[in-house]
Structure 1
Amino acid sequence: MNQSSVVAALPQYAVGEQIGEGGMGVVYGGVHRRLGRPVAIKRLPHAVAEDPRMSERFEHEARLLARLDHPHIVPVYDYVRQQGEHLLVMERLDGGTVWSRFAGDGLTAQQSCGIVLAALSGLHAAHEAGVLHLDVKPKNLLFTSNGVVKVADFGISQVVSEGATLVTHGGAVLGTPAYIAPEQAMGNPLSPAADVYATGTMLYELLCGDLPFERGGGPIAMIQKRVFQEPRPLPKVPEPLAGVVMRSIAREPEARYRNAETFAIDLAGAAGHLFGPDWLVRLGMPVHLAPQVSSSSTRPSLRPVPERDTVTLTGQRVRATLVDPVPAARLSGSSTLVPAAQVIKPPSTPWALWLVAALALIAMAVVPFTGTDRGLPEITTNLANPVVEQGERLVVSLAGIELADVGRGPAGFELPGATRWIVGGAVLASIDGRELLLVSNQTPWLSLMGTGSVLLLLFAFAYLESNLRALRRRQTGMAAVIASVPLGFTLGVAVWLLVSVLLEHEPTTSMGLTCGVLGAAAALSASLASRRP
């Protein structure tokens, strides 16, 4: 790319070779001629200069950026708007990026927490000055030669896009879709919570080596997952650190930390809890913290964490599992950009599967009430007492399962204690081969058939609901779908047994199997409908 106009616009600097490039511009190395100070010169895309409104916004933002004076923010030395160029002159940092270290040697959990605390310190200072970053990622965190972490590229995304995420007609995203907050993708009003989300996503990745959502599918698919799905739980990281990270990447802004400092306070406390109150001193990384953040880090832990968890988390270096999932689009004068909200579509609802689930559920609930009465004679009695009936031998069974086989005694047929405890409502009995219904006149809730069917129904329903919720949040996969079949079958059997007991119907095997199959069909259909692609 021709840099003659850059050289002409900056006569006080010796402009060197290109040292970086991204979606928001090109970076050249340079040296101030009189001071001998190395600098990085950010050349903004021509689309900024060609759009008068964008150009004015950036000039306003550049004044704010020049006022930011914080140990963890790359300082802006100069801003030049001349000869069709918009140039930011910044401190040059040659210590590499967080991404280069993460993808190379890897980072320990302590190093990752220290890096993010430094970033949050800089972000909070910028937020207090009215500047959002909107493109926090490992490549925008740079190291000085002394190992100090500094945040770069403040405000550029906000100026170019006015806060919304923009995409080209080809589907490329202006920005980094892996870290974009849901409200930013949808063009909703933004707050520091958007930068909290991106920083939390970055910390999630640094701690486990992967992102909170499955990769693949292109940039639009990545953004769509962040808008409509819940992040995966952070693996292999103990509490309280995992809880802090998951709160920072909550889908709704109101559920996240309200600003970078409150995030930093909890993060520092969780790190001190896991690694010990002197962890930052031992780490040897220069991190400038606000007093309340520092005190949270050094406060003694109230609940010691099992040593095995802490040792495992501290001892290993985590590396990036993949390179950047999706490169950012470049902003050029020929770019045709539209808000991402116009092309992001909510996931389609599998109405056919939900309809099958609803019909099977209704049929499961109705079938037990339609049992045909075979016109068998009934004996209603208190089963705690002997059954007074003519005959020599009494056999009691439930859905083909024999519960008792007793001979006649002096006072009648005396059932075993287990049978009396099991039977509620009606069961099939036969005396010398003559079939009849044996009905208990006691409350069914004192029997295993009555209370047991309720407990079985609640158990199956609770686990099914938990499975469906986990499937919707992408916290589980086909294992939950497969597990839904026996749970649904159990639910159907429980409904059949409960209705039979309450209506004092004969609990037949065929009816039980029918309800079980309908329950399994309803659960399987609902699970498949809930499973996110």
Structure 2
Amino acid sequence: MTSSSVVAALPQYAVGEQIGEGGMGVVYGGVHRQLGRPVAIKRLPHAVAEDPRMSERFEHEARLLARLDHPHIVPVYDYVRQQGEHLLVMERLDGGTVWSRFSTDGLTAQQSCALVLATLSGLHAAHEAGVLHLDVKPKNLLFTANGVVKVADFGISQVVSEGATLVTHGGAVLGTPAYIAPEQAMGNPLTPAADVYATGTVLYELLSGDLPFERGGGPIAMIQKRVYQDPRPLQNVPEPLAGVVMRSIAREPDARYRNAETFAIDLAGAAGHLFGPDWLTRLGIPVHLAPQVSASSTRPSLRPVERDTVSLTQQPIRATLVDPIPAARLSGSSTLVPAAQVIKPPSTPWALWLVAAIALLALAIVPFVTGGQPGRVVTQDLADPVNVEGGRLTVTLAGIPLADVTERGPGGFVLPGATRWIVGGVVTAKTDGPDGTFGLGSNRTPWLSIMGTGSALLLLFTFAYLESNLRALRKRQTGVAAVIASVPLGFGFGLAVWLLVSVLQEYEPTLPIALTCGVLGAAAAISASIASKRP
């Protein structure tokens, strides 16, 4: 039902039924009586009129919006402030939204890149005029009947919230949390980089069918992820396009493109590289580009195009999930607070880190305090015969057989060549003669043995992979698989510590200590991995 106050405030328009609604107001259809021109009438919430500061800000913003004249911006025809109403009269576009096409028929990668280039073109013009959008999303990208995409709802979010993200005590968000830049969520100073982030998020979603972060947990959790986590890498999209998208959604504003035009230049270049210099012409989507952006798109590439570009070009991509979370409505009774007051940094799992630290400390101590030499140690060059009595000599490392010599030569037992290179430090030797069990050591430097160099290499290998897994878990570039992989890696790390200490200290390696060190290493690794895995 059309409000009588809206009808009274716009006598020159025939105001129709409501055609849309969101957190920032209600939209009615209408027709200019004299010109017969169809229009969309945006009615701002009464909270705008009731707050004098907000009302003045909106009037200032409306003047700026009315001066915006760009092929990819929905033009503002009129602004009326009367009888407690704030009304924006805009061009009416009935060609649907990017979201409606994306969620039904889907969009190819080429179409998505073209639509985002058009969006960036409009955004850059607005930024040059001093207007930030701050609510870029697929539903705010509208099509004309001729297929031209235009950006709608410029500046309204900035007027209502002064650029910050507001939330209700019930956890609803004024705005669209799926596309909000981290600095906007925290109420920090805003630049065009905030709109770059939102547009990059839109492009990420159009190219992958999903958002750069896991959904779920409600709007506050959604914002919190954007503030404290890095986005997931863009899968199944080749370079250089994937790199352009990921740069546009970097958490830190300084790491993103400084404005919409630099983003557009790189995006046009990446699309031209993948789809060919005439891709926009072949596509047939009307896009108005600045000369430098157009030049980047048509500049021929000297590098070969990746094979998966063909499937990327032809296959439509659709939204995998329903439009996530409805926005809160701004009303006179709304109790809104800045999101920064509600969002808290993720708690540090101190208990898990403590377990990891204790396990590592124990791992550093156990090989030293539990190792020891047997009663008798024979140290010699293992290339020489081992001169002990008996008819058989066996050599083992922590219960693992290394040599079994059944014939004694004139000078003693001759060890196989492989055993000579394996042994470093002290291993266990046993003969059936009077010498019984004794320690057998090599007088060569431990680094010339497989036990010495092998344990050092295993230590470096497992440590490097564990560190890489922890870093990937912190950045959310991997998940449960890395946590599972940490168990064998940690076990191997513990074994490497045990063996290296045994070799360097010339202790006799024993199986119980090996298993103890392996378990300690695995406990430290899995505790650290679970602690690093962000929810």
Give TM class, smaller chain.
over 0.9
CA apart distance, 1:383: 2.1
TM-score (norm 1): 0.97
Instruction: For residues 339-381 of structure 1, give each alpha carbon's deviation from its aligned partner in whole angstroms, at most 9, with x where no partner exists.
Output: 0111112222221111111111111111000124354212222
Which residue, 439, 442, 449 being the options, matches 1:447?
A: 449
Residue 525 of structure 1 is matched in structure 2 by 527
Output the amino acid matched with 1:500: S
Moved more, 391-400 or 505-514: 391-400
Residue 382 of structure 2 is matched in structure 1 by 383
Residue 365 of structure 1 is matched in structure 2 by 364
Q: How does 1:20-419 map to 2 (within 5 A)?
A: 20-307=20-307, 309-373=308-372, 375-406=374-405, 407-419=407-419
Moved more, 494-503 or 23-32: 23-32
Moved more, 445-454 or 461-470: 461-470
Rounded Cα–Cα distance in structure 2 between residues aligned with 1:531 and 1:209: 24
Aligned to 1:526, the other structure's residue is in SS state helix
CA apart distance, 1:468: 1.9
Is contact 2:382–2:415 with CA below 8 Å preserved after alignment? yes
Instruction: For residues 257-300 of structure 1, give each alpha carbon's deviation from its aligned partner in whole angstroms, at most 9, with x where no partner exists.
Output: 11111111111111111111111111100111111211111112
Moved more, 373-382 or 20-29: 373-382
Rounded Cα–Cα distance in structure 2 between residues aligned with 1:302 and 1:166: 48
Rounded Cα–Cα distance in structure 2 between residues aligned with 1:372 and 1:171: 58
CA apart distance, 1:469: 2.1
- Say yes or no: does 1:492 pair with 2:485: no
Runs of 4+ in 1 over 6 A off after TM superposition: none
CA apart distance, 1:390: 4.5
Rounded Cα–Cα distance in structure 2 between residues aligned with 1:77 and 1:2: 20
CA apart distance, 1:392: 4.2
CA apart distance, 1:250: 1.2
Output the amino acid matched with 2:489: L
Rounded Cα–Cα distance in structure 2 between residues aligned with 1:244 and 1:268: 10
Residue 439 of structure 2 is matched in structure 1 by 437
Instruction: For residues 377-429 of structure 1, give each alpha carbon's deviation from its aligned partner in whole angstroms, at most 9, with x where no partner exists.
Output: 12222223333445443322111111122333234333222111111111111
Residue 457 of structure 1 is matched in structure 2 by 459
Moved more, 276-285 or 384-393: 384-393
CA apart distance, 1:498: 0.6
Q: How does 1:8-19 map to 2 (within 5 A)?
A: 8-19=8-19
CA apart distance, 1:33: 2.1
TM-score (norm 2): 0.97
Is contact 1:371–1:505 with CA below 8 Å preserved after alignment? no
Aligned to 2:179, the other structure's residue is in SS state coil
Output the amino acid matched with 1:380: T
Residue 472 of structure 1 is matched in structure 2 by 474
Rounded Cα–Cα distance in structure 1 between residues aligned with 2:120 and 2:207: 16
Rounded Cα–Cα distance in structure 1 between residues aligned with 2:443 and 2:289: 74
Rounded Cα–Cα distance in structure 1 between residues aligned with 2:372 and 2:83: 95
CA apart distance, 1:471: 2.2
Rounded Cα–Cα distance in structure 2 between residues aligned with 1:366 and 1:302: 58
Rounded Cα–Cα distance in structure 1 between residues aligned with 2:15 and 2:66: 21
Output the amino acid matched with 1:386: P
CA apart distance, 1:315: 1.7
Output the amino acid matched with 2:253: P
Rounded Cα–Cα distance in structure 2 between residues aligned with 1:302 and 1:506: 62
Rounded Cα–Cα distance in structure 2 between residues aligned with 1:306 and 1:347: 40
Output the amino acid matched with 1:345: K
Output the amino acid matched with 2:339: A
Moved more, 375-384 or 442-451: 375-384
Output the amino acid matched with 1:511: I
Instruction: For residues 324-352 of structure 1, give each alpha carbon's deviation from its aligned partner in whole angstroms, at most 9, with x where no partner exists.
Output: 11001111111110001111122222211
Rounded Cα–Cα distance in structure 1 between residues aligned with 2:352 and 2:493: 19
Is contact 2:373–2:507 with CA below 8 Å preserved after alignment? no
Is contact 1:22–1:328 with CA below 8 Å preserved after alignment? yes
Output the amino acid matched with 1:262: T
Output the amino acid matched with 1:476: T
Structure 2 unpaired stretches of 5+: none
Moved more, 223-232 or 334-343: 223-232
CA apart distance, 1:256: 1.3
Moved more, 254-263 or 155-164: 254-263
CA apart distance, 1:248: 1.0
Instruction: For residues 490-533 of structure 1, give each alpha carbon's deviation from its aligned partner in whole angstroms, at most 9, with x where no partner exists.
Output: 01000000111111110111110100011111112112222222
Moved more, 331-340 or 257-266: 257-266
CA apart distance, 1:93: 1.1
The share of aligned pairs that are identical, in percent, is 85
Rounded Cα–Cα distance in structure 1 between residues aligned with 2:334 and 2:141: 27
Is contact 1:54–1:159 with CA below 8 Å preserved after alignment? yes
CA apart distance, 1:22: 1.0
Output the amino acid matched with 1:119: T
Which residue, 506, 509, 512 being the options, matches 1:507?
A: 509
Rounded Cα–Cα distance in structure 2 between residues aligned with 1:186 and 1:38: 39
Rounded Cα–Cα distance in structure 1 between residues aligned with 2:22 and 2:373: 80
